[in-house]
Amino acid sequence: MNRTELADLTEPQLRDSYRRCRDLNARFGKTFFLATRLLASDQRPAVHALYGFARRVDDILDDLDPVVTSADREARLAVLARQFRAGDCAGDPVLAAVLHTADRYGISGELFEAFLTSMRMDLTVTDYENRHALDRYVYGSAEVIGLQLLPVLGTIASSETAAPYAASLGKAFQLTNFLRDVDEDLGRGRIYLPADELAASGVDRDLLLWCRREQRVDPRVREALAAQHAITRKVYDYARDGIALLAPRSRPCVKTALTLYAEILDRIEDNGFEVFGRRARVGRFRRTYVGAVGLGHARWARRRWPRRDESAHTTVVRTPR
């Protein structure tokens, strides 16, 4: 993290907290991290902090240590939630950074509560009977991430106008993960695809588990995944229209992230929906090219539209459920 990213932070411990979050982003969120490099330096720390908090929760939920029980995970998540609500970040650099970010940008605590609610669902819920049930989970697990980022990115329209598009972008990314990670999620006992929509193609948990054991896709599963793919593509189409509502200096970052994540969806289709035993990826050359184009646009935008007034940071983003 360079000096300009932390130029307005004078407290050494807080600067270190943001660095820790950046390291988490660089290590675990490669596509997302690449996109954040296109933001202005004053925006990046907040994005890293929000990512760091989400990653911290994921690590609690997905701890594969066999001696760690579901009750242990629930207890650890409860402690983290209490600390966040109380503003208690003693000894926890990730919490220190995200609490500072939430205060600085006026990010509603309701969005963090919704996120934690969905994350707690992962402790007990393994299947979603229909789209409505899945959407409830996705709101907290993904849509609120887009809403948390909105004050950091800035908008040229009201936050209420831009919020549905920001939420949809988070949703699109999450639905892409669900398709890409069917195999991995089954290994954790979870299915993030609506059961009734799978059943329309003759697919159930037993058939998905058979595909996982055999490391190949049954035609019925391929048909079901293609249907989910089409739904996800429509979410991207809607979210893309919201880029024009963002502050100009933030658009290259979001456009790059959307392009690269949408191309993961392309790779899934190109692979014939063979999601077992292989993970759809965008190649390094392609990521570098898209990132380089985005960087050129980002530099031009930052020259034309310099850093926005800090008063804009107090915008509180909420969206109706």
Are residues 103 and 208 part of one domain?
no
Are residues 107 and 192 part of one domain?
no
Residue 41 lies in a domain: yes
The burial of 299, by beta-carbon neighbours within 10 Å (0-12 exposed, 13-18 middle, 19 or more buried), is given as middle
Q: Read off the pLDDT of residues 106-132 as tens digits, 9 standing for 90 and up.
A: 999 999 999 999 999 999 999 999 999
Confidence of residue 66 (pLDDT cuts 50, 70, 90): confident
Residue 319 lies in a domain: no
Structural domain tally of the chain? 2
Tokens of 27: 């290590």
Are residues 265 and 156 part of one domain?
yes
Are residues 265 and 202 part of one domain?
yes
Instruction: Give mean pLDDT, residues 190-206.
Output: 98
* Most confidently predicted of 32-46, 231-245, 282-296: 231-245
Confidence of residue 314 (pLDDT cuts 50, 70, 90): very low
Are residues 168 and 292 part of one domain?
yes
Residue 131 lies in a domain: no
Amino acid at 194: P
Closest CA to 319 of 167, 102, 106, 119: 167
**DSSP letter, residue 140:** I
Are residues 234 and 107 part of one domain?
no
Are residues 73 and 203 part of one domain?
no
Instruction: Give mean pLDDT, residues 139-156.
Output: 96
Domain that holds residue 99: 1-124
CATH number for the domain harbouring residue 246: 1.10.600.10
Q: Read off the pLDDT of residues 156-166 as tens digits, 9 standing for 90 and up.
A: 999 999 999 99
* Residue that is written with structure tokens 């809607």 in the block: 238
Confidence of residue 302 (pLDDT cuts 50, 70, 90): confident
Are residues 207 and 116 part of one domain?
no
Are residues 102 and 235 part of one domain?
no
Residue 28 lies in a domain: yes
CB neighbour list of residue 193: distance below 8 Å, 6 or more residues apart? 128, 134, 178, 182, 224, 228
Q: Read off the pLDDT of residues 12-58 as tens digits, 9 standing for 90 and up.
A: 888 999 999 999 999 888 778 888 889 999 999 999 999 999 999 98
